[in-house]
Amino acid sequence: MYTFSNKLKTFSFILMILGALGVGYGFLTSHKSLEEVKTMLAEEASHHGGGHAEEATHAVADTHAEKGHEAAAHVTDAHHGDKHAKHVQHQIHNRPWSALYVAAFFFMMIALGILAFYAIQIASQAGWSPVLFRVMEGMTAYLLPGALIVVAIAMFSGDHIFVWMNENMTNPDHADYDKLVAGKSGWLNKTGFLIRALIFIGGWSLYRHFSRKFSIAQDTAEDKSNFKKSFRIAAGFLVFFIYTESMMSWDWIMSVDPHWFSTLFGWYVFASMFVSGITVLALITLYLKSKGQLEFVNENHLHDVAKFMFAFSIFWTYLWFSQFMLIWYSNIPEEVTYFVTRFQDYKLPFLGMVVMNFVFPILMLMNADYKRIPWFVVMAGLVILAGHYIDIFNMIMPATVGDRWFIGIPEISSVLLFAGLFIFIVFTALTKAPLLVKGYPFRKESEEFHY
């Protein structure tokens, strides 16, 4: 049995407290009145005229200069000033909400990705991975609380993240009326959103609950009936998962831009969650192994996990590029604005994540020998994880905060908060059962697995 070391527990509490303080700070500082926003914009505009050379020495010179430039163009336009200031005020209000939502979704998707991976391992009767099942089961413990938090943030934030949650958008008599959003209100409405979310979470959690139950029952069982049951529900879950995951990505992510749609978006989000899940699996496995808890896991298992990290990084890139290139090539205005805003205001994160999620892993993890070296996999894994955080960041932020983005206190604290929660829940779950599945039919093969 694994015991949650006090050091790690304290560490996770520190993360949560620091994160909560930072999130609170983010909300306190985001409440700016319209007057404050106007003075801020005027300052930025004058800043632009005066100190260009000074700014160049600043660490974030580029983004500052760009912001200043845009603000200047807008503010000089006198009758536009008020509307623009209101727009900016809204974006500033949105920032802590979006930061919280991005981080909550990021950690939820790690748990969901590994749940799908776990089901695939069982349904395909993989012979290498049973020694890692308990680590995967521990990680999926975060799914239920994590997904509920995501939905709670979405519902509480209202139109701070999802503009279509603003009731006035479907009211033809109101100034905020939006014909396109109103046309989609059959799907995009709060009640439907909540019901669908509960169905998704309910289905995933049920599978998680029963697969865990059968897995533990198989440890002491005399026959293989629990294994057979877990095989059957894994196959059923995978069908359910691929539908609900796709719809979840429309609801929870794509609808932040309710004017835009993409058909392969569900797959794209899936690739992101799958590769992040497998990367975290590698990191937790290596951590537990370094503590001497998983002596039956050897570098051959690590090699296979790293192969998945490598292959699904490429799969992610394939989908990212397919989505981007099809829209770039045909250049239809209603679709292409999505990438135009990302290219104008998010150049560094948008292109940087391709380097972190593709170029880096393909070069680092191509060599078979490197995939067997723990510190190498950890380094590559941390870069991949950071890259996929930025991926989610790029999906949400341009729609909510626009060019007012920055990875500062609200964003980093939100990550810390959920990282602490994730560590606490996952490692608590790991203490609940032995770290090696006992009665699983492929256990022996997995223990002796070598590549």
Partner 1 sequence: MEASKVIHAIYTDDDVLMSAVKKVKAEKHHIEEIYTPFPVHGLDKAMGLAPTRIAITAFMYGLVGLTVAIVMMNFIMIEDWPQNIGGKPSFSYIENMPAFVPIMFELTVFFAAHLMVITFYLRSRMWPFKEAENPDPRTTDDHFLMEIAVHGNENELESLLKETGAVEVNLVDKAH
The site for partner 1 (CB under 8 A) is made up of 321, 324-325, 328-329, 331, 366, 368
Q: How far is the CB of 341 from partner 1 (least distance, A)?
A: 17
Residues 6+ apart with CB under 8 A from 398: 257, 341, 342, 345, 346, 405
Q: How far is the CB of 398 from partner 1 (least distance, A)?
A: 19
| Category of 46 on φ-ψ map: left (φ > 0), alpha (ψ -120 to 50) or beta | alpha
Q: How far is the CB of 322 from partner 1 (least distance, A)?
A: 10
Would you say 243 or 321 has its CB closer to partner 1? 321
Four-residue CA torsion sign, 23, 24, 30, 36: negative
Q: How far is the CB of 378 from partner 1 (least distance, A)?
A: 24
Contact 161, 154 (CB under 8 A): yes
Would you say 354 or 419 has its CB closer to partner 1? 354
DSSP result, 236-292: HHHHHHHHHHHHHHHHHTGGGSTT---TTHHHHHHHHHHHHHHHHHHHHHHHHHHTT
Would you say 114 or 365 has its CB closer to partner 1? 365
Q: How far is the CB of 92 from partner 1 (least distance, A)?
A: 34
Q: How far is the CB of 328 from partner 1 (least distance, A)?
A: 5
Would you say 176 or 334 has its CB closer to partner 1? 334
The two structure tokens encoding residue 280: 């975290």
Dist. CA 151–CA 349, nearest whole Å:
26
Contact 314, 148 (CB under 8 A): no
Instruction: Of 389, 163, 141, 86, give the one whose Cα is nearest residue 284.
Output: 141
Would you say 17 or 351 has its CB closer to partner 1? 351
Would you say 2 or 358 has its CB closer to partner 1? 358
